[in-house]
Amino acid sequence: MGASSQPKPVQPHMQSAEGKTEDKRVGSTSKRQELQVLDAELSSLRKGRRVYVQQHNSQVFFLDQLPQVHSSVKKQLAELTRSQK
């Protein structure tokens, strides 16, 4: 195979004079995008669908109720949006 089939190396994150402040902004922006996608995905599910939530720091998933998971995601998204202002 040619060189074009090899993955490109990931560029390290460049720090500005602000240092870790920029890293925190980038992390919260990606977390916000992740929560927005999750919110859209949960909104598109039919009522009564099974939803599994991953236990933190583990590979274990637990069955949960769709309305509770969706409200939790909405709360996290609202808190993150509020903290970014």
Question: What pLDDT is attached to residue 58?
Answer: 92
Tell me the Ramachandran region of residue 24: left when phi exceeds 0, alpha when psi lies from -120 to 50, beta otherwise: alpha
The pLDDT of residue 84 is 80
- The partner residues of 52 in beta bridges, in order of sequence, read 63
pTM of the complete model: 0.63
Question: Considering only CA atoms, which of 52, 47, 57 is closest in space to residue 69?
Answer: 52
pLDDT, tens digit (0-9, with 9 covering 90-100), for 12-69:
343 344 444 445 566 778 899 999 999 999 999 999 899 999 988 999 999 999 999 9
